[in-house]
Amino acid sequence: MGKLNGKVAIVTGAGRGLGRAYARRLAGLGAKVAVADLNLKSYEEFEAEAKAMTADSTVAEIEAAGGSAIGIEVDVCDERAVNAMVERVVGEWGRVDILVANAGGGRGRPLDTKASTLDSGLLQLVTAMNLFGTVYSVNAVAPHMKRQKGGKIVTVSSVAGLAPSVDGGYAHYGAAKAAIAHYTKYLAQDLGPHGITVNCIAPGTITTGRIVAMVMPGSKDANTNRADRVALRRLGDVEDCAKVVEFLTTDLSDYVTGVVIPIDGGLVRSA
C-alpha cells in the first residue's frame, strides 16, 4: 500500500522539470495524478528534459510504472480553463485531495527587469503565471477539499521571493513569488478550520533542463560556481524538491501549515 493510495492529486506545470518530478513521486506513492500543463510535451523545448524522459509524456511515464494519470492541457492564467480542469478531474475520479500549484516561472532577463524599470507587460505576464495561476488553482480545488473536510495544498515560491537579488534584477518574478509565499499564510488561516493544510516551498537553484540551458549560461554569475554560495556545495536536483513535496502531501506533515520551506541547500544570496 502506498501512502497516497486512494488520493487524487493535481500537479500544474507537470509536463517537465520540477512538476514532472512531483507528479511521478505522488503517483509512485499511490495517488492518481492529473498532469496539468500548457503543453504536455513541454519537455521538447530543452535537450536535457527530453533526454530524461522515459516515455513520450509524464502521463505515459506514470502509466508505464503502473500508476494512474490523466493529462490536461490548461493555461493556469485562464480562470475558466482552470475551473474546467479541476471539474474534469473531479468528474473522472470523484475527488481532489492534493494540489501542487507549481506552474510558473520568469520571463525576460535580470538585466532588463530591474525593480525601477519594470515593463508593465512582463510584470503582468509573470504575475499572472505565478500569483494568479496559483490563486485560480486554489479557488477551484478549495470547495472540493472543504466538502471532503481535508486536503493538502503546496504552493511554489522561490528563494527570489524571500530575498532580493544583489542588483535588483528579476524584480517582477521576485515580487510575484513573494506574494505567493505571503498568500499561502493567509490561505492556511482560511482553510485550516476545514482540515486543509497549505504550505509553500521556495526552491533555490535546481538543475532542471531550463535552468541548465537558459539561466546559468546567461546570468551575470555564468563564470562563477554558483554552488560556492550553497552550504552543501552543490546545486539542487528535482528529487531534492520532490522529497519535500512528499513530506507536505502525506500524513508526515499533518500538523504543519502556513510555512515556507526554502529548498536551497543553505544558499547565501548576497555576493
Ligand X SMILES: NC(=O)c1ccc[n+]([C@@H]2O[C@H](COP(=O)([O-])OP(=O)(O)OC[C@H]3O[C@@H](n4cnc5c(N)ncnc54)[C@H](O)[C@@H]3O)[C@@H](O)[C@H]2O)c1
Which candidate in 173, 183, 186, 255 is catalytic? 173
- Per the document, the length of the chain is 271
User: Rounded to whole angstroms, how far apart are CA atoms 192 and 181?
Assistant: 16
- Residue 110 binds to ligand X (criterion: CB under 6 A): no
* Min CB(195)–ligand X separation in Å: 26
Q: Are 101 and 37 in contact (CB under 8 A)?
A: no
- What track of x and - describes contact with ligand X for positions 174 through 213 (by CB under 6 A)? -----------------------------x-xx-x-xx--
User: Taking CB under 6 A as the criterion, which residues in 11-40 touch ligand X?
Assistant: 12-13, 15-19, 37-39
User: Rounded to whole angstroms, how far apart are CA atoms 25 and 31?
Assistant: 9
CA triplet 89, 69, 56: central angle to 5 degrees?
A: 130
Q: Are 1 and 29 in contact (CB under 8 A)?
A: no
Place of cell 530591474: 114
* Min CB(30)–ligand X separation in Å: 23
Residue 5 vs 225, nearer CB to ligand X: 225
User: Rounded to whole angstroms, how far apart are CA atoms 107 and 115?
Assistant: 14
Closest residue to ligand X in the complex (CB) = 17
Whether 183 is catalytic is no
Sole binder of ligand X in the list 77, 90, 100, 260 (CB under 6 A): 77
Q: How many CB atoms lie within 10 A of CB 7?
A: 22
- Residue 85 binds to ligand X (criterion: CB under 6 A): no
- Residue 67 binds to ligand X (criterion: CB under 6 A): no
- Hey, what's the cell of 23? 507528479
Binding site for ligand X (CB under 6 A): 12-13, 15-19, 37-39, 42, 74-77, 102-105, 129, 133, 156, 158, 203, 205-206, 208, 210-211
